[in-house]
A and B are shown apart, each in its own frame.
Chain A
């Protein structure tokens, strides 16, 4: 159970190797966390995530097998996690960036990005929502992206999956309104992680820990949508008003 100050006792991370999600787990007060389930495909990254959280003093960290694109298995997977105890916060943090130019040449690569980022998220998100609704409390945190606010030439495949995911998450939040369960949509900008390693940094680039701080504060305040960093809200609002001929010519 969350306490009155919004500190969770149990967290499920979908995409259990996501650096932003792991930083978020670290940003919760450790004394309250009793169960942290890192859901991901087996990998060295997953083993390392368990080890590093445990070494950081987080208790009850376990890894479980989860594949975002195996939608047929999502129902049983989510049930097994919730059947062994309430889950206060679910971080939906899996996603792939993909290679935009390669995907333009081979649409099958684009399908993989779409299936992971959108289809997989819709599937597991609905299963999680069903169980949060049943337990009468809990928050699903969906990591969207500013890339979904307006798709750019340079990564519109990824951007379109995040646009779809963002719309889905907002609608799901509305569906859950008043049920005790809720959805927090997080729209990070450029975050320094494995996913963005080697890419030229955008203005207002932040570390994963900065996003984590914002996520934890937003959970505490019961917010529904948040940009990370916060001022990106205004940048994106401005970018969305640009006429397409201008937006198209913008660098990157």
Chain B
């Protein structure tokens, strides 16, 4: 006799990249779009959700008791060199897209700090990168996409025209309007696979922000690492552009467009809680800061080193130990730049050390109602989840962020309240109307959607 409590073979305990708050989902591998349609029609009361490579930090790509669609088989990648576009299956990773297309002289329009994300995930979270101030989000470069909606229908959506509202609800919609199965997006033409990088140490946060505000337009890519342990908020600004082939040495030109990065190591599965504490992170940050030159221009770096330093270590998220970690990322308008300082101070006084603290200036927002970026400053800080008082400190910061018209990034969020979410997304109702039309039965859902009452 089968017990209702027993696990079945497709059950998987899933978490986000932060490894907090697991829930059990039933994995369902889809071979093609028709499989996705069938899975939606067969959905049980706990619904369905597409999950990519699990790089969102919180509970966006999990759904307790639900059917989790694994679209890794939808991995086709077609490069149209004449149009400068790629058409890819939702399950194709940006890593795979780059491996296929960089040697042909094209780069993805936007990449976050990891290329281990899927095309479907990039659209669902409407990811941004170091070039947001110039190029906007990933969704802004999507020309068309195919969505399986909540009725199991295949829909062709475009950013303009009659399907525009559904398109933009899907961009940044966290997979809640349906499952993206394919998309066509613009690529950036490049003549080499190297980056020309300027590095500059800054003494404190004010200098970092002043420099970034003044210098943003000079480079396509720019970001600052902030030493969250130092009271001054010293840091390192790195700016870059795709290196033109002319900048390469004769030897480098022989393989100007080569792109075949390897993962260097895998983090071991067992790390004790508390390994990353204020002391160890202070030591790391000191070394990291000293390692950077005071100022250096036009250094050639690989794509991996410039965009995805952490992809060199697989499963680095294990270093935070069994309690996991979370990433707090907010955006505030330019006029409220002081919130960045307050947030760093508050995290430090809570004893929440962050060794990945990144500051970035956003350009204009796009039409997507739930898309995260808006003009201003965004700060992202990793913090271990087990710290006493962390919840109260972050709730306070939530209040501050919302009071100045800012908000949190859903791909990172794992703890904001539904009230905070609703208050900081004034177009939520508009989005919900479009979502309800696409998914009248409420088939697509996630733990994040349940937590935030979306």
Contacts and interface: CB of A to CB of B under 8 A. Distances in A.
Contacts of B22: 137, 180
B65 A4 contact: no
Given A4-B326, A180-B13, A137 B18 contact: no
B354 to A, nearest CB: 15
Interface in B414-447: 414-419, 447
Interface string A128-156: 01100111110000000000000000000
Given A130-B5, A133-B4, 20 more contacts: A1-B64, A2-B21, A3-B391, A3-B415, A3-B416, A4-B20, A4-B21, A4-B324, A5-B326, A5-B390, A6-B21, A7-B391, A7-B415, A31-B419, A86-B450, A136-B63, A137-B22, A137-B65, A175-B5, A178-B13
24 contacts: A1-B59, A1-B451, A3-B21, A3-B414, A3-B451, A4-B20, A4-B385, A5-B326, A5-B385, A9-B451, A29-B391, A31-B417, A32-B417, A130-B5, A135-B64, A136-B63, A137-B65, A175-B6, A179-B5, A179-B7, A179-B24, A180-B23, A181-B24, A221-B323
Nearest 10 CB-CB pairings of A with B: A136-B64, A4-B414, A180-B24, A136-B24, A1-B451, A4-B20, A136-B65, A3-B415, A137-B23, A137-B64
A1 B13 CA distance: 15
B235 interface: no
Interface string B301-337: 0000000000000000000000110100000000000
A145 B418 CA distance: 37
B46 interface: yes
Contacts of A176: 5
Contacts, number: 90
Chain B interface mostly: loop
Contacts of A179: 5, 7, 11, 13, 24
A10 to B, nearest CB: 10
B415 A5 contact: yes
Contacts of B447: 1, 137
B286 interface: no
Contacts of A4: 18, 20-21, 58-59, 324, 326, 385, 414-415
Contacts of A7: 391, 415
Interface string B1-32: 00111110001010000101111110000000
Interface in B356-413: 385-386, 390-392, 395
B87 to A, nearest CB: 35
A7 B304 CA distance: 37
A4 B21 CA distance: 5
Nearest to B394: A5
B66 interface: yes
Interface in B59-74: 59, 63-66
A174 B430 CA distance: 45
A120 to B, nearest CB: 19
A5 B390 CA distance: 8
A129 B5 contact: yes
A5 B395 CA distance: 12
* Interface-centre pick from B65, B323, B419 (highest chain A CB count, 10 A): B65
Contact of A31 (B24, B395, B448): B395
A129 B414 CA distance: 25
B65 A135 contact: yes
A221 B385 CA distance: 10
Given A4-B58, A86-B450, A136 B414 contact: no
Contacts of A6: 21
Nearest to A29: B391
Interface string A148-167: 00000000000000000000
